[in-house]
Amino acid sequence: MEDNKNKDMTLEKAFEELDGIIRKMESKDIPLEEAFKLYREGTELLEFANGSIDKVEKEIIRLRRENEDGK
């Protein structure tokens, strides 16, 4: 995933693109080179999605700790 594309990427958009890639790769008529390209794009999207989810999880943990400390 290109850096400029990454700036506009959201988690929802990443999942939509991954869904499209999966559908294309499940097609029996896809050339091998295209399959490799799609696989590469998919792994980049997965890395982005995992990073986004990790950030959210860390923020939830931080907020929970703040809430527990405030009681």
Please report which confidence band the pLDDT of residue 4 belongs to, taking 50, 70 and 90 as the band edges: very low
Do the domain assignments include residue 2? no
For residue 49, the enclosing domain spans: 31-71
Number of domain units in the chain = 1
Distance of CA 3 to the CA centre of its chain: 14
Whether pTM > 0.85 for this model: the answer is no
Do the domain assignments include residue 22? no
Do the domain assignments include residue 69? yes
pLDDT tens digits along 16-64: 999 999 999 998 788 999 999 999 999 999 999 999 999 999 999 999 9
CA distances 68 to 34, 59, 64, 65, 71, Å, are 51, 14, 6, 5, 6
Do the domain assignments include residue 25? no
Do the domain assignments include residue 3? no
Do the domain assignments include residue 16? no
Do the domain assignments include residue 57? yes
Do the domain assignments include residue 19? no
For 52, residues 6+ apart whose C-beta sits below 8 A from its C-beta are 11, 14
